[in-house]
Amino acid sequence: MVENSGEVATGGVRADRAALEAAGELLRALAAPVRIAIVLQLLEREQCVHELVGHLGVTQPLISQHLRVLKAAGVVHGERNGREILYRLVDDHLSHIVTDAVAHATEHGE
Alpha carbon distance 75, 73 (integer Å): 6
Domain ranges in the chain are 27-107
Q: What is the DSSP string of 56-95?
A: HT--HHHHHHHHHHHHHTTSEEEEEETTEEEEEES-HHHH
Alpha carbon distance 4, 42 (integer Å): 40
Topology given in CATH for the domain delimited by 27-107: Arc Repressor Mutant, subunit A (1.10.10)
Alpha carbon distance 27, 100 (integer Å): 13
* Tens-binned pLDDT, residue by residue, of the chain (110 aa): 444 556 555 566 778 888 889 889 999 999 999 999 999 999 999 999 999 999 999 999 999 999 999 999 999 999 998 999 999 999 888 888 899 999 999 998 65
Alpha carbon distance 42, 48 (integer Å): 10
